[in-house]
Copies of this chain bind each other. A is one copy, B any other.
Amino acid sequence: MPMFKESEDRRAEWEIPSGVFVVSLLDGDRTNGYAAGWVVRVSEVPVMIQVAVWDENYSYELAQACTHFSVHILEEGQQDVARHFGRTCGRDCDKFEGYAVIPGVSGVPVLEDCLAHLECEVASRQVFGDHIVLVGKAIEKGIHREGKALIYNYQDYQ
């Protein structure tokens, strides 16, 4: 009998805090962007960053073979950007339309309107359960402006 319980409304894994990110992927001439929470650092030297893509998303297709990705750290107040990239599908539209985007050194779309970004070359790709996990080595990165990172809050996306 476990000492600590959970409920339908409160799972231990939901308590793990995270930021809110837009991740863009580059696979040949195909690109897409999606809203993410599961982004983490995995190495300090060299700088390596990990993202994960859910197998129900269009981005999962691109993640099978993409060579580069870019992580964009959203700032407090940018919930609308996360909602846009989370609720539209790259199969039906160009999600970057209407957003200022510049090509990274690899050609991956870099979103200007964020706190900071890290452009990465894919170094490892592995499936865990219902997600594919990409680890990338940072090849270019930058601070876009002053500000505080947005922390994920479930209520913001209901």
A113-158 interface with B by 8 A CB criterion: 115-118, 123-124, 126, 128-131, 133, 135, 138, 140-144, 149-151
A10-55 interface with B by 8 A CB criterion: 10-13, 15-19, 38-50, 52, 54
Most buried by B among A116, A123, A138: A116
Distance in Å from the Cβ of A10 to the closest Cβ of chain B? 5
A82 within 8 Å of B by Cβ?
Answer: no
Chain B's closest residue to A40 (CB) is: B40
Distance in Å from the Cβ of A15 to the closest Cβ of chain B? 4
Chain B's closest residue to A115 (CB) is: B15
CA A107 to CA B5, docked complex, whole Å: 18
Contacts of A50 in B (CB 8 A): 40, 50, 133
Q: Is the interface of A mostly helix, strand, loop or mixed?
A: strand
User: How many chain copies?
Assistant: 2
A3 within 8 Å of B by Cβ?
Answer: yes
Contacts of A52 in B (CB 8 A): 40-42
Distance in Å from the Cβ of A118 to the closest Cβ of chain B? 5
A2 within 8 Å of B by Cβ?
Answer: yes
Which of B10, B48, B71, B143 meets A129, CB within 8 Å?
A: B48
A16/B40 contact (C-beta < 8 A), A4-B142, A128-B123, A128-B135 known: yes
**Other A-B pairs, 10, CB within 8 Å; known A4-B117, A4-B142, A43-B128:** A12-B138, A13-B141, A16-B73, A39-B40, A42-B52, A44-B130, A45-B130, A50-B50, A50-B133, A126-B126
